[in-house]
Amino acid sequence: MNYNTKIINHLAQQFAEMFKTAIVEQQKEGQATPMIAQIEADMRDALRQIGLQALGIFLSSLQATPASEMACACGGTLHYQRMREARVISVFGKTVYERAYYAGCACQRGEAPIDEQFGLEPGAVTAGLAQLLALAGIEFSYDESPKWLQAYLLFDISENTVRSETERMGTLQEKQEEVLLQRSQDETYLQERQRRPGQGTTCLYGSIDAAKVRIEPRPKKGEEKAEHENWRDIKVLCWYEAEGVPPAQRSVRHREKVARQQPALRAKNLRYFCDITEAEDFGKLLWATGCSLNADRCPELIFLGDGAVWIWNLVAK
The pLDDT tens digits of the residues spanning 264-273 come to: 999 999 999 9
Q: Residues 238, 295: one domain?
A: yes
For residue 179, tell me if it sits in a domain.
no
Q: Residues 161, 210: one domain?
A: no
pTM of structure: 0.76
Q: Residues 205, 286: one domain?
A: yes
Q: Which domain holds residue 152?
A: 127-171
For residue 26, tell me if it sits in a domain.
no
- Give the chain's residues under pLDDT 50: none
Give me the DSSP letters along the chain. Answer: ----HHHHHHHHHHHHHHHHHHHHHHHHTTPPPPPHHHHHHHHHHHHHHHHHHHHHHHHHHT--SPPSEEE-TTSSEEEEEEEEEEEEEETTEEEEEEEEEEE--TT---B-HHHHHHT--TTSB-HHHHHHHHHHHHHS-TTTHHHHHHHHHSS---HHHHHHHHHHHHHHHHHHHHHHHHHHT-HHHHHHHHHSPP-S-SEEEEEEEEEEEEEEEEEPTT-SS-EEEEEEEEEEEEEEEEEEPPGGG--HHHHHHHHTT---EEEEEEEEEEESS-HHHHHHHHHHHHHHTTGGG-SEEEEE--S-HHHHHHHH-
Q: Residues 206, 306: one domain?
A: yes
For residue 190, tell me if it sits in a domain.
no
Q: How much is the pLDDT for 220?
A: 65
Q: Residues 310, 246: one domain?
A: yes
Q: Residues 209, 153: one domain?
A: no
Q: How much is the pLDDT for 79?
A: 93
Q: How much is the pLDDT for 303?
A: 97
For residue 193, tell me if it sits in a domain.
no
Q: Residues 210, 286: one domain?
A: yes
Q: How much is the pLDDT for 223?
A: 66
Q: Residues 249, 305: one domain?
A: yes
Q: How much is the pLDDT for 225?
A: 64
Q: Residues 150, 231: one domain?
A: no
Q: How much is the pLDDT for 36?
A: 92
Q: How many domains does the chain have?
A: 2
For residue 98, tell me if it sits in a domain.
no
Q: Residues 145, 215: one domain?
A: no
For residue 274, tell me if it sits in a domain.
yes
The pLDDT tens digits of the residues spanning 142-170 come to: 999 999 999 999 999 999 999 999 999 99
For residue 207, tell me if it sits in a domain.
yes
For residue 96, tell me if it sits in a domain.
no
Q: How much is the pLDDT for 39?
A: 92
Q: Residues 157, 208: one domain?
A: no
